[in-house]
Structure 1
Amino acid sequence: MLRTTLVAICLAFVPVISASASALASGSIPASVDAYVERYRAATGLPGVEVAITKGGKVIHANGYGKTATGERVTADTPMAMASVSKSFTALAVMQLVEKGKVALDQPVCRYLPEFTMADPRAAKITLRQLLNQTSGMADSAFHEKSLPQPGTLEGAVARLKTAKLATPPGTAFSYHNTNYQVAARLVEVVSGEPFAAYLHAHVFTPLGMGNSKTVDTDRDLPGSARGHLVLLGRAVAVPEPAGFGNGSGGVLSTANDMARWLIAQNNGILSRESIKEMRTPSEQNQEYALGWMIGTTERGTPVIEHDGDLFTSTAAQLLMPEPGYGVAVMANTGTAYGDADALMDGIVAMIEGGAPQIPSSPPYLVTDILFTLLTLATAGLAVRGVARSRRWAATSGAWRRWRLLPYLGPLALCIMIVPVMRVLLRGGDIRWIQVVYLYPTFMVWLVTASAAGLTVVTARLWGTARLRRQ
């Protein structure tokens, strides 16, 4: 897409900040990371971010930078949205039940959750493992989870599946679909007899000392510290997250200090070795996705276990490097269009491996935003000119010329069809109109302006023609 292409061009000209591996090993990593994060924020306009770095059983660094959407200072104890990083927590909750013998990964979900039914008989064969490794057969292409009315509870998230169908037979294809994890979280509720938020509090957050962490249901439950921004013309603008349900799939709120404890616990007895191995074993359908974790490597080839998360106004990322023993978590209060959490994560990993992180030379998409802003102003000006000259146009045009008005309605047609178009571009991924606005704000401002301008010009010219006929 346009923004992705622009980023690739910009990154070819970005400066770097050096940090040697010996400096990190000697204990100067806090100062090095602080300098890197502050330079990154200055270059991009990122309002607020938290970072946690661990090694083995020790916290190397945990800090907060900048401001929240409500203007408060971000600290290492400021709750921020973890988005889809939450899937790792849901998978852990399920594995705890597996270890207690209450559920089995390869048994049908409906055995433990009778309320889980779909308008597709194949759904009865979906196993708990298939929910967690995203091979259940549920997919955005068959069930528009984002654009349908949003539930308010996990029970409601499962209930709305009664009329849904599968995209593929269970266990045959990978499809990243948030509903998988909402069903898994509801299963935890039913099997444990505790609300999912209470279960995580009692069995995950409290035992790990994550006193500032919790999970929420919807965007309405996000506290001010967890709300985020769009970046327009290089300036961050605080905006509410589009309405959506996220518990189980993206509802966890946490802090740098809490995430440091979480990262340490991944290799420190949170589960048995067998369960940890199970969680890090990918499916045959996708060798890069396991149970709530992704399997990959760094640019230098170091194996990593990771998972990122994207809301439309904030992002998060977590990563484990099993061989050197490092763990990293980043939370940023700008949305998925900017990818700040992932970018900062990449920079910190580069520093850990003795490389030099990249610093963008300007705020993301600044040139694109300027171009579309100018295009919007030009479009409005041309519309005024077109309306002013509509009487003259009507006086000099024949019937054949009126067909030439059709292209003026092109932007309106695109504006109406933008959701289906985006679904094609996203290869079946679901999205709502307002979410497209959050992804491409200045483009959508231009498109709406062009739609209104084209419709106004066409109306004015046809009205002028009708008046001349009456005269």
Structure 2
Amino acid sequence: MKRRLAEVLGESLAGGAVAGAVIGVAVGDERFTLARGSANLNTGQPFTEDTAWLLGSVGKILTTTLLLRLVERGSVDLDDPVRRHVPEFTLRDPAAADRITVRMLVNHTNGIDTDGLVPSAVRGRDAHRAYVEHLRDLDVLFEPGTCIHYSNPGFVLAGRIIEEQTGLPYEQAIRRELFEPCGMRDATAVQTQAFLRSTAVGAFFDMETMALRATSLFSVPESIGAAGGTPIVTVADMLAFGRMHLNAGLAPNGTRVLEADSVKAMLTPTFDLGIPQAPPVGLGWWLEPIAGTTAAFHGGTSPGGNSAFTLLPEYDAVITSFGTGPANILLQDRLHLAVIEEVTGRTVTPPFGGAPDRPAPGIAGEYGSFQSRVVVEVEADALRLTSHFEPYDDDHRATYEACGVPAGAAPPVTYRGLAPGLYAPEGMEASVFSGVIGRGALLTPLPATAGRPAGLHSGLRFTPRRAH
């Protein structure tokens, strides 16, 4: 297994679109770490086994774990209305806000229409509170609890509950309630701590030099810290966290972090759309059927970097990885698939089948959500999508531009049928969609149902059809 992973890392670095990466694997009592390439193109600092990195949205699993500790103490119930704990939370439709429960925050079914909100004006202990204030001007995409839409605001609200219940700002609460008891000795949610350790810096492709360059933005704003924006970890930290979950809540240092029932609840499906690009969701975890087993998975993005975290409970296995550069998402998938195949002894296959059908003419039209407008045209047996990024404000525009996402229209993409009701970008091999990450590129038009308008589902996001 280690040799196979070393070959994958070598091939990716030789391709010139990955600056560096690190992966840690633990199967039972056996573990190893591999690190290759540059962790900081500004300084030439190499990736090492103890290089730290920004966790990105994998931090949502940390926030969920911390929240479950409060549930165990009886101070929070998953079926509580969020407003019971965060009274300042409201939406443009206050009645919709009233119907959102704590559970809906951490299983991505709350429907709040603001996946990409990243306000940066307020830092420190009031950053999450300032984020929540923005929500009063926003809507829901569907009736809460009726669909899946990837939810940064859900986890920011979970962070606010944690802050209210512990009396601590998020970065202190997560240190006391999770990092310390779990034995995550190098983990921190304070961004300035990156200066005190070897920490990776993201990388982008520079069209002027035609080479990789270091990011100009180290991390996203603190306002989405509880959604994964601020935690910094090492391989050892994440292996300890993963072992705790696989050991029914008991950390490697012998500390009880969660009760076994809470660990089981996180790994139990709470909602399933029945489409491969949006696997069943537990509490925090995406529960992906793969290679004859279920992988508990989450990915994460930071400026110029990507992380991935997988548990294979049936095989007592943890996989954690991070890398930088534009080809890094594909690298994360290849690394995790390689381990999954080695551990299970099975070849991973695409999660779909059946002959594709011709797209219905009625799919054509305009779709939109918080920052996204999508124009869909039907062309014979294909869909042609033109996506527009429409910033919320200048702050939003600046953050996304620093992450390589300019405002305006992206080049059109043609999607062709793969299976009934399932489409994929033209030219992508079916094998790309076999992995824990790659399947997110698939697209499904969803009809209207009770509580949910017609829309498109791709990348874990629901984009509703706009009225003519």
TM tier relative to shorter chain: 0.5 to 0.7
TM-score (norm 1): 0.66
Counterpart code for 2:266: M
| Aligned residue among 19, 31, 34 for 1:47 | 19
Cα distance in 2, alignment partners of residues 107 and 264 from structure 1: 30
Number of positions where the alignment pairs a residue of Structure 1 with one of Structure 2: 352
| Structure 1 residues 90-109: aligned runs within 5 Å | 90-109=63-82
Compare 287-296 and 423-432 and name the one that shifted more: 423-432
1:126 Cα deviation after fit: 1.1
Residues 4-24 of structure 1 deviation map (CA, whole Å, 9 limit, x = unaligned): xxxxxxxxxxxxxxxxxxxxx
Residues 24-57 of structure 1 deviation map (CA, whole Å, 9 limit, x = unaligned): xxxxx4444334423332234422211111123x
Specify the SS of the correspondent of 1:61.
Answer: strand
Residues 328-383 of structure 1 deviation map (CA, whole Å, 9 limit, x = unaligned): 011112258744323322233233344789xxxxxxxxxxxxxxxxxxxxxxxxxx
Map of 1:87 onto structure 2 = 60
1:311 Cα deviation after fit: 2.8
| Aligned residue among 294, 298, 302 for 1:303 | 294
| Aligned residue among 237, 247, 253 for 2:225 | 247
Q: CA contact under 8 A between 2:33 and 2:49: conserved in structure 1?
A: yes
Q: CA contact under 8 A between 2:309 and 2:321: conserved in structure 1?
A: yes
Cα distance in 2, alignment partners of residues 221 and 166 from structure 1: 39
Q: CA contact under 8 A between 2:272 and 2:280: conserved in structure 1?
A: no
Unaligned residue ranges in structure 2 (runs of 5+): 251-256, 274-278, 349-370, 377-384, 413-468
Map of 2:318 onto structure 1 = 327
Q: CA contact under 8 A between 1:312 and 1:337: conserved in structure 2?
A: no
Residues 143-169 of structure 1 deviation map (CA, whole Å, 9 limit, x = unaligned): 7624x6665311111122222222222
Cα distance in 2, alignment partners of residues 135 and 222 from structure 1: 38
Map of 1:171 onto structure 2 = 145
Counterpart code for 1:265: M
Q: CA contact under 8 A between 2:23 and 2:34: conserved in structure 1?
A: yes
| Aligned residue among 205, 209, 213 for 1:237 | 213
Counterpart code for 1:66: G
Distance 1:316 1:282, change over 3 A: same
| Structure 1 residues 108-257: aligned runs within 5 Å | 108-121=81-94, 122-140=96-114, 145-146=117-118, 151-152=122-123, 153-216=127-190, 225-232=199-206, 235-241=211-217, 244=221, 245-250=223-228, 251-257=230-236
Q: CA contact under 8 A between 1:217 and 1:246: conserved in structure 2?
A: no
Higher RCO (C-alpha under 8 Å, 6+ residues apart): 1
Counterpart code for 1:351: E
Residues 194-245 of structure 1 deviation map (CA, whole Å, 9 limit, x = unaligned): 1111111112111222111112479999988232011357732212237544
Map of 1:342 onto structure 2 = 333
Q: CA contact under 8 A between 1:282 and 1:290: conserved in structure 2?
A: yes
| Structure 1 residues 419-458: aligned runs within 5 Å | 421=373, 435=400, 438=403
Q: CA contact under 8 A between 2:64 and 2:106: conserved in structure 1?
A: yes
Cα distance in 2, alignment partners of residues 106 and 279 from structure 1: 15
Q: CA contact under 8 A between 1:280 and 1:293: conserved in structure 2?
A: yes
Map of 2:268 onto structure 1 = 281
Map of 1:262 onto structure 2 = 241
Distance 1:322 1:30, change over 3 A: same
Distance 1:54 1:433, change over 3 A: same
Map of 1:73 onto structure 2 = 46
Q: CA contact under 8 A between 1:312 and 1:335: conserved in structure 2?
A: no
Q: Which has the larger radius of gyration?
A: 1
Q: CA contact under 8 A between 1:135 and 1:285: conserved in structure 2?
A: no
Counterpart code for 1:308: G
Cα distance in 1, alignment partners of residues 3 and 107 from structure 2: 38
Q: CA contact under 8 A between 1:133 and 1:291: conserved in structure 2?
A: yes
1:294 Cα deviation after fit: 0.4
Cα distance in 2, alignment partners of residues 59 and 197 from structure 1: 32
Cα distance in 1, alignment partners of residues 321 and 47 from structure 2: 13
Cα distance in 2, alignment partners of residues 421 and 106 from structure 1: 33
Q: CA contact under 8 A between 1:213 and 1:252: conserved in structure 2?
A: yes
Counterpart code for 1:283: T
Cα distance in 2, alignment partners of residues 218 and 163 from structure 1: 32
1:138 Cα deviation after fit: 0.5
1:84 Cα deviation after fit: 0.7
Residues 168-188 of structure 1 deviation map (CA, whole Å, 9 limit, x = unaligned): 222122111211101101110
Distance 1:219 1:430, change over 3 A: farther
Distance 1:32 1:338, change over 3 A: closer
Map of 1:6 onto structure 2 = none
1:439 Cα deviation after fit: 5.0
Distance 1:167 1:429, change over 3 A: farther
Distance 1:327 1:429, change over 3 A: farther
Share of identical aligned residues, percent?
Answer: 25
Unaligned residue ranges in structure 1 (runs of 5+): 1-28, 358-418, 448-471
Map of 2:306 onto structure 1 = 315
Specify the SS of the correspondent of 1:327.
Answer: strand
Specify the SS of the correspondent of 1:257.
Answer: helix
Cα distance in 2, alignment partners of residues 191 and 265 from structure 1: 23
Cα distance in 2, alignment partners of residues 293 and 354 from structure 1: 24
Cα distance in 1, alignment partners of residues 327 and 58 from structure 2: 13
Counterpart code for 1:47: A
Distance 1:430 1:80, change over 3 A: farther
Cα distance in 2, alignment partners of residues 42 and 356 from structure 1: 25
Distance 1:89 1:427, change over 3 A: farther
**Higher helix fraction: Structure 1 or Structure 2?**
1
TM-score (norm 2): 0.66
1:80 Cα deviation after fit: 0.5
Specify the SS of the correspondent of 1:46.
Answer: coil
Counterpart code for 1:253: I
Over the aligned positions, Cα root-mean-square deviation in angstroms equals 3.5
1:284 Cα deviation after fit: 3.1
Q: CA contact under 8 A between 2:18 and 2:327: conserved in structure 1?
A: no
Map of 1:64 onto structure 2 = 35
